[in-house]
Structure 1
Amino acid sequence: MKVKGFLVNAALLAGAVASPTPDQAVLRQPTSVKSGHNAIETGEGHFSQWSRATKREFLIDWPAGRSAEWTIVQGNEGGDLDSMAAALTWAYHLEHSTANTSNPVKAIALLQTSTDALDLRPENKLALENARMSTGHSDLLTIDELPEDPETLAKDIKGIVLVDHPIALRKWKNAPVLGIIDHHQDRGVNETAEPRIFEKVASCTTLVARQMLDELEKLPEEYHLPHELLELILGAIAIDSDGLTDEEKTTEADRTTAQRILERSNWRKSDLDDKMQDLDEDLGDAKKDLDGMGLRDLLRRDWKGDLVDTPSPRTPTVGLGFSSIPYSMDEQIKKTEFEELFDWFAIEAAWTAGTGTDISVALNKYKIKDKHGKKQKIREIVLVVRSDVRIDQDQADDLFKTVKAAIDNEPTLKAKPWHKAGELGRNRMVWTHERSDAGRKVIRPIIEKAVMSWD
């Protein structure tokens, strides 16, 4: 058994803790543990204690055959602050709002990123430090710490709740979807989920926090909301709404929910706009601190991938993955060892080989100054189709043409070939375009539609 990484030997754990004593089931007072290279410092405060205790109980229950008692709350695999805060908030609410009922819920937040990838989002690291969580993210359950693969675990657990994601990843398809709270487009699935909330707001955490407060205020007696959780919520809303200043993204729901949370926090005497802008500035500065990252880390820090169905009887599914990178292609090339185009694609190929991806799409964005000194947002789309995972070379050639045509023919993009497009190899393409809102939410449906029509 490895405590920090929670790499659990099932037989050992089953024998050792199948019948935990009362003091095994909950954590004692936080302590500092410093021994060897896996040393951690246990976090301070109620929120850290709860998160750590919940993770411990889940890993005790699994080998004891009690997985069916658990609800897993999961965000998207990109693992941004919004997704993380939303999952942690709703898991906390599910457990505490039912604790004194005849049907208490065991709920745990699952971050669908690996432990070593959490710090690739510096804003998350800062937010968790501010929330006084344990070092090494040992309070949090990450995808690489699950004691068995999701396909198997999905059959055993009570179900999942999706936050900041409209549809379960294919590996969780066998799990009942008990609830969905999301600010993306409704895919029209899991109609019986409760709650089932789709609403356009800047931050999904807004919807989760609003639902939590609405239900909390109807309880006979309110449970305790730790200030660290409240501050984490405010940080997530702040960074997604630019401190409530982005008029295109920020809604009345974002503002009113943030105000309700603020009034319960240790910042209750602060002005809402001042506090949200301060949070956005601090977290935003951290978010931009990526200069020391190499290309592989940039590719995986905001990676979202899943299987997509096709009409082809030969290849009924293909793996599609997206990365979002705040640097131009030219800047990314400079981050490679040889600072040349071939090296970018070599690193990309090594990453996608490990993820089993057939089609990878890098969505780059950056700003330049025009002749008047005004900043202009530029976006790039990098498309690569592999022939060594699920499809052969002929299929890869045809699939590449299909997806490329979808990008070329999308009238709202007005995509133009990148200045070095002529140097690209087989089944590779890079475009530039100036549609400012065309991130993953816009590009992914275009490409998925093309793949689902490919035969």
Structure 2
Amino acid sequence: MKSLGILSSALLASAALHPNRPAHQAILNAPSGKSAMKPPGVGHFSEWSRETKKRFLIDWQASKESEWILVQGNEGGDLDSMTSALTWAYHLEHSTQNTSRPLKAIALLQTSMDALDLRPENKVALQNSKMTEGHEDLLTMDELPEDPETLSPKLKGIVLVDHASPLRKWSKAKILSIFDHHVDRGVAPHASPRVFEKTASCSSIVARQMLDELEQLPEEYHMPHELLEIILGAIAIDSGGLRDATEADVHTAERILKRSNFSGRELEDVMEDLDDELSEAKKDLVDLGVRDLLRRDWKGDLVDTPSPRTPTVSLGFASIPYSLDEQIQRTGFGELFHWFAIHAAWTAATGVDIDVCLNKYKTRDQNGEKRKIREIVLTVRDDVRIDQAQADSLFRVVYEALEKEKSLGLKPWHKAHELAAREMVWSHESDAGRKVIRPIVEDAVRQWDMAKAP
């Protein structure tokens, strides 16, 4: 059994790493002083989530990690990823609770607690689902009492939702199931269920599987309306109120609607209203500074290279819905150097070697027609795993890989001549976002060998 000293050390370390987060968030949701407590959420869904988090942390302290399944989405932490994880964790526990082999499952949101509200649509959806203020009934990455590298092999397993392969730090965990609406990378071929399907929302796939299994049970478990409604919200915002939905999205939404508190309304009206509400919230980023914009939708991982001196390189990718010029105006000095200073502080904190910021915004041409513009900001650091010579070489390799991709139509940013060493900014009008750019960068790094570099 783990000692209280170990737990205290973990909590103190967490407090040191996250000075802005209330310390009570890491102590089983049971703060020592009543003044620090927030009113718990209302309803079965919030109660279940809070109680599950408490049981997980208690079992961790008792060295019972092997009894638990962690359901995790991607580290971007959008509404779809969060909803998919919560839905499947709830289903795993409740569908097996009256069997000889009940499962313990918890949703792990692979972002920090203080980053959840950087996506205002998440905050609105959770408020609508009557979850606890401050998200204290959710388990986030900064609340894990043990590093994923050491925790992962101790678990019963993990389930990936809205995520095709685990991050390197979870590579030692057994993958039990995968649900994703992107490209199948061939990971965990024996996982079950293992569903890859092109849908607007991964929540559609997860909810469909949940309903299929629920309806086959001898007796259905209680399905809280708050969970049903957050599922509808995730499908609505990902499908544009069903305007961009697949047949699977629509059919799942219909089934969920019939069980929800919206059951007396037309599906199209409900989904349009949810999309309007959540999409409006999603745009409410006016108060976010550059650092928060960088981390609100950031994904990263380690990538292997053939270079003996540098076998792994850390990559990070941020998606930001503003031009670099507008972001610069949000810095204290309103100048280019300050944006890169803030960016450098953020990338230093995350420990990345290569960081790519993918900006997108809309403008109008001389005829008044809307144009969608994207930007790629590439930077390479030399103070984490790699020295200056390696950083120069890596920058050149990734720079050339992006330049060679003619389908992107990259053009140097209008202030590219003001950039420092190992900094580059391009603009383009292709539809290529992170799903296109990330593989180009990763492939370039995987083929990079410093020993063979010119």
Q: Same fold (TM over 0.5)?
A: yes
Partner Cα distance (2:249, 2:403) in 1 = 36
The one-letter code of the counterpart of 2:437 is: I
> Hey, what does 1:23 align to over in structure 2?
none
| Unmatched segments (≥5 aa) in structure 2 | 12-29, 450-454
| Unmatched segments (≥5 aa) in structure 1 | 1-6, 14-31
CA contact (8 A) 1:8 1:147 kept: no
The sequence identity of aligned pairs, in percent, is: 68
> Hey, what does 2:161 align to over in structure 1?
163
Tell me by how many angstroms 1:11 deviates: 8.9
> Hey, what does 2:247 align to over in structure 1?
252
CA contact (8 A) 1:79 1:113 kept: yes
Partner Cα distance (2:183, 2:31) in 1 = 45
Where does 1:100-111 land on structure 2 (aligned, <5 Å)? Answer: 100-111=98-109
CA contact (8 A) 1:359 1:385 kept: yes
Tell me by how many angstroms 1:35 deviates: 5.6
> Hey, what does 1:186 align to over in structure 2?
184
> Hey, what does 2:149 align to over in structure 1?
151
Q: In the TM superposition, what whole-angstrom CA distance separates every residue of 1:212-248 from its partner, at most 9, and x where no partner exists? A: 11111111111111000000000001111111113xx
Partner Cα distance (1:153, 1:347) in 2 = 32
Query: Structure 1 residues 8, 291: CA separation in 2 closer, same or farther (over 3 Å shift)?
Result: farther
Partner Cα distance (1:142, 1:166) in 2 = 20
> Hey, what does 1:365 align to over in structure 2?
360
- How many residue pairs get aligned? The number is 428
> Hey, what does 1:449 align to over in structure 2?
443
CA contact (8 A) 1:114 1:142 kept: yes
The one-letter code of the counterpart of 2:136 is: S
Where does 1:321-340 land on structure 2 (aligned, <5 Å)? Answer: 321-340=316-335
Find out whether 1:430 has 2:425 as its counterpart: yes
> Hey, what does 1:87 align to over in structure 2?
85
CA contact (8 A) 2:10 2:146 kept: no
CA contact (8 A) 2:354 2:378 kept: yes
Tell me by how many angstroms 1:349 deviates: 0.5
Query: Structure 1 residues 94, 8: CA separation in 2 closer, same or farther (over 3 Å shift)?
Result: farther
Structure that is richer in helix per residue: 2
Tell me by how many angstroms 1:251 deviates: 0.8
Query: Structure 1 residues 12, 379: CA separation in 2 closer, same or farther (over 3 Å shift)?
Result: closer
The one-letter code of the counterpart of 2:297 is: D
Partner Cα distance (1:64, 1:51) in 2 = 20
Aligned-pair RMSD on alpha carbons? 1.8
Tell me by how many angstroms 1:10 deviates: 5.4
> Hey, what does 1:118 align to over in structure 2?
116
CA contact (8 A) 1:183 1:198 kept: yes
Partner Cα distance (1:38, 1:372) in 2 = 56
The one-letter code of the counterpart of 1:419 is: H
Q: In the TM superposition, what whole-angstrom CA distance separates every residue of 1:351-385 from its partner, at most 9, and x where no partner exists? A: 01011100000000000112232221111010000
Partner Cα distance (1:241, 1:12) in 2 = 41
> Hey, what does 1:418 align to over in structure 2?
413
> Hey, what does 1:215 align to over in structure 2?
213
Give the alignment partner of residue 347 of structure 1, picking from 326, 342, 347.
Answer: 342
Tell me by how many angstroms 1:156 deviates: 1.0
Tell me by how many angstroms 1:78 deviates: 0.7
> Hey, what does 1:293 align to over in structure 2?
288
> Hey, what does 2:234 align to over in structure 1?
236
CA contact (8 A) 1:68 1:156 kept: yes
Q: In the TM superposition, what whole-angstrom CA distance separates every residue of 1:3-53 from its partner, at most 9, and x where no partner exists? A: xxxx9835999xxxxxxxxxxxxxxxxxx9996652211000000010001
Partner Cα distance (1:340, 1:451) in 2 = 31
The one-letter code of the counterpart of 1:344 is: W
Query: Structure 1 residues 37, 314: CA separation in 2 closer, same or farther (over 3 Å shift)?
Result: farther
> Hey, what does 2:128 align to over in structure 1?
130
The one-letter code of the counterpart of 2:343 is: E
The one-letter code of the counterpart of 2:213 is: E
Partner Cα distance (1:262, 1:325) in 2 = 33
- The worse-fitting range, judged by mean Cα deviation, of 184-193 and 226-235 is 184-193
Q: In the TM superposition, what whole-angstrom CA distance separates every residue of 1:375-407 from its partner, at most 9, and x where no partner exists? A: 211110100000111111111111111111111
Query: Structure 1 residues 284, 58: CA separation in 2 closer, same or farther (over 3 Å shift)?
Result: same
Partner Cα distance (1:34, 1:243) in 2 = 44
